[in-house]
Amino acid sequence: MKKVVFIGINNVLDRFANRLATKANVVAVTNARFESVEKTIPQIILKPHLFFIPWKWLQGFGQLSLPYFFYGLQRVLDQEKPDVIIVMEYLRGWTLQALFYTLRHPTVKLFIHVETKRSPRGLFGRVYLYGTLKILHFFSSHINAILTYTEQASRWNRSKLPLVRVELLPVPIDPRLFSYKARSYMEDGVLRIYCNARAVPFKRHGDLLEALVLLETENRDIRYSVTFIGEGPLKQLIRERVRALGLEKKCTFLPPVPLTKIPDVLLKHDVLVLMSDNEAFGIVVPEAMVSGLSTITSDTVGANVYVIPGKTGFIYKTGDCRALKDAIVAIAHKDKVSEMGKASAVQMETNFQWDACLQNFNNVVLK
């Protein structure tokens, strides 16, 4: 049985890792205990450092892309003796650590699981990514494949690393947690909007609030409610903005909801709205779709790979608050939101089946 080491893991990779664990010996290296749904994968916790700067000194940097390295990673890899390494993202120093390990052990297969689909806006991030891509390009022969799960990421990575194979592996949604159930839409004539996003700048909560102001001014006949889920440094500012705009009776704030409880929350909503600027993926989109919600997403959300515009949801230009408002107006009819929600569930069941997507990942990594 092959030994597979994941370096870095998230909710997306967790799905693939747990299925892979039925065919291989899987271990995850991470910087904090990850709450895996199935809890079947051993985890090795290492402290991240920025070069020689301890992690605890970097806690205030928030959303900056910093090249964290794992202290002691080479020792762990020497002990685990992997046949396959799956490392997460370019903008983390552990990607180069994994590459340098494969240079010393050329029989080890290296896969890089990438969400990146454009260069960072910050100068530091752009410079670091440029240097990383130059190194990866020089050692292209040591990289088995780049693994992506959106069309945008596939195209971007092919342009940056033309000598490396790029595999598009859409993310499935666990039918044991998320599935379409008989449900009602727009109970009491109220469009129930679901917004599950951390309170950080690139999620652009302000765009939705501005769209709601337009809705209040121009479409007062539309009844709606909004549920905001998530924590983050901007949460208090968002709450204050809601109060200042007179929207507090329409908006509810909830803390992060455990994954196993999200299906119950989705049943009480009609449409997902995700306003992010350059959202690498957005797992909330397929989760909502498979549960029978239509979606309204900005055009820089990676998970738009699942959306059929006009059939399962609407895609609008990032930052265009009026277009966002118009999409809400277009969907705020019981027959329309019901039709699109059911079409979303069919789209996910037909084209992104759980077993097929997971098996495809196994075939790519273990062949």
Q: pLDDT for 72-84, tens place per residue? A: 999 999 999 999 9
Give yes or no: residues 60 and 199 share one domain: no
Q: What is the pLDDT of residue 83?
A: 97
| Overall average pLDDT of the 25-47 stretch | 81
**pTM score:** 0.80
**Residue-averaged pLDDT of the chain:** 90
Q: Where are the alpha helices (DSSP H) in 105-178?
A: 123-138, 151-160
Q: Is 91 a residue whose pLDDT tops 90?
A: no
Q: Report if residue 26 sits inside a domain.
A: yes
Q: Report if residue 177 sits inside a domain.
A: no
Q: How many domains does the chain have?
A: 2
SS3 content of the chain, % helix, strand, coil (to 5): 45, 20, 40
Model confidence pLDDT, tens digit, residues 152-184: 899 999 999 999 999 999 888 888 888 888 889
Cα–Cα–Cα angle for 38, 282, 60, rounded to 5 degrees: 90
Model confidence pLDDT, tens digit, residues 301-334: 989 989 999 999 999 999 999 999 999 999 999 9
- Residue 82, sorted as left (phi over 0), alpha (psi -120 to 50) or beta, turns out to be beta
Q: Is 54 a residue whose pLDDT tops 60?
A: no
Other CB atoms within a 10 A radius of the CB of residue 12 amount to 18
Q: Is 66 a residue whose pLDDT tops 70?
A: no
Q: Which residues span the domain enclosing 45? A: 3-172+353-366
Asked whether 106 and 26 are in contact (CB, 8 A), the reply is no
Q: What is the CB-side half-sphere exposure of residue 122 using CA atoms within 13 A?
A: 11
Give yes or no: residues 161 and 300 share one domain: no
In the chain, what percentage of residues exceed pLDDT 70?
A: 93
266's CB contacts (< 8 A; 6+ apart) are: 178, 194, 287, 288, 291, 292, 293
Give yes or no: residues 145 and 60 share one domain: yes
Give yes or no: residues 149 and 191 share one domain: no
Other CB atoms within a 10 A radius of the CB of residue 139 amount to 15
Model confidence pLDDT, tens digit, residues 100-139: 999 999 999 999 999 888 887 777 778 888 999 999 999 9
Q: Which residue has the tokens 């992010």?
A: 276
Give yes or no: residues 321 and 358 share one domain: no
Give yes or no: residues 202 and 124 share one domain: no
